[in-house]
Amino acid sequence: MTETVGEIESAALANYAPPQLETLTLDIHPGRIAVLTVNRPERMNSQTVTMFAEFGTAAHALRDTGARALIIRGAGERAFCTGFDLDEISVITRMGIREFLQFQELAAGGMAALRQLPFPVIAAVNGAASGGGLSLALAADFRLIAPHAKFNAAFVRVGLSVGELSNSWQLTRLIGYGRAAELSFTGRVVGAEEAVRIGLANRIVAGDRLLDEAFTVARAIAEHPLGAVRMTKRALQRNQEIGSFATALELERRGRALLACIDESDAR
């Protein structure tokens, strides 16, 4: 007998073993909701070379779980992710050109792998999201934030460019060129209310309810047919990357044709 999509997903979850991670934790919750936690609260959840590699490891592990949504959060209450840990800067400065290029590709690849997951990704931003932490928040499809959340593209402050980890592409499309330029050139901090007003975040949720609200949204997503959600994400993301209305319509027509071939009872 042919297995249904639901049976295949259940089998994948039953056999799921979380990857061995040092700086992140990855859990699958009831309802097929995955939670990825940046787990360095003692260092304000700052990033390391190891963490950048683990973003890719976690994303690739998630693709095979049958998860319906992913929540990204930071451990503790103070920070979502504060960018690269400057105490590890010597690790980078010792790299040769080829090794540093490999590191850049590794870091960007980890963020891209999270963004390209076939199911929705929600960032629950419970504090500062700075530099590479902003990049991590932007890898999500949308952002729920605590009242004390704050964002900044801090790269210029340390002599770097916003052209890192896809920030220059993501920011200009999310908030427009003018706003992206101002934030990138100044590195100034954007508070929660401004973040929502300019479209950097979706809405503010009380800090003690942030994770619960992220789960509520994720469960609402999980109730919809698998194929419909995945094709919706594909259409939204791909149409960010094309400038032709006719091509956008063609992409939508193809997605609709594929969905017409899916037995919705098998896609839940």
Tokens of 187: 């590195």
pLDDT for the residue 46? 97
Stretches where the chain sits below pLDDT 50 are 1-5, 7-8, 11, 265-267
pLDDT for the residue 17? 75
pLDDT for the residue 14? 54
pLDDT for the residue 236? 94
Task: Write the single-letter amino acid at 17.
Answer: A
Structural element, H or E, at residue 122: strand 121-125
Q: Smallest Cα–Cα separation from 206: which of 217, 192, 195, 194?
A: 192
Tokens of 142: 């949308």
pLDDT for the residue 12? 52
Q: Model-level pTM greater than 0.75? A: yes
Pairing between strand 79-81 and 69-74?
A: unpaired
pLDDT for the residue 4? 45
How far the first Cα of the chain sits from its last, in Å, is: 19
pLDDT for the residue 9? 54
| In the block, residue with structure tokens 């890192």 | 164
**In 3-state terms, what secondary structure has residue 78?**
coil
